[in-house]
Amino acid sequence: MISVTSQAIKEVKRLLTEQTPREGLGLRVGVRGGGCSGLSYSLNFDVKHEGDNVFREEGTLIYVDPKSLLYLEGMTLDFSDSLQGRGFKFINPNASKTCGCGESFSV
């Protein structure tokens, strides 16, 4: 399971209003190869695919494919809007090393 903070949900809902409405549209959280630490996070809007793990946070659908969930289990997605920058933050207990930008990691 992954968790999404209220601040992150608020931003996801704001961004969803900019998308073309589709039945079942939600946030897809994933992992792909790349980045300076070997793996990088991905976020995009999508509908459910066969085999997806589905989570619901404050009425918002979150989709994670089974392979990504192996790396994301227990992760928290947060959103920050501060003097240091604006963006999503991945708090992943499985990451043994994270790059300075916070967008890539290794296990």
- Domain of 25, CATH number, reads 2.60.300.12
Q: Which domain holds residue 99?
A: 3-106
Residue at 37: amino acid letter = S
Tens of each residue's pLDDT in the chain, 107 residues:
899 999 999 999 999 999 988 899 999 999 988 766 578 889 999 999 999 999 999 999 999 999 999 999 999 999 998 877 889 999 988 876 565 555 555 56
Cα–Cα distance list, 21 to 7, 17, 24, 25, 90 (Å): 22, 8, 9, 7, 26
Please report the beta strands in the chain, taking only residues with DSSP state E, as ranges in sequence order: 3-4, 26-33, 39-46, 53-57, 60-64, 76-82, 85-91, 97-98, 104-106
Structural domains counted in the chain = 1
- Flag whether the pTM goes above 0.95: no
Residue at 86: amino acid letter = R
28 by Cβ neighbours in 10 Å (0-12 / 13-18 / 19+) ranks as: buried
CA–CA distance, 16 with 66 (Å, rounded to integer): 24
Q: Which helix (H) or strand (E) holds 101?
A: none
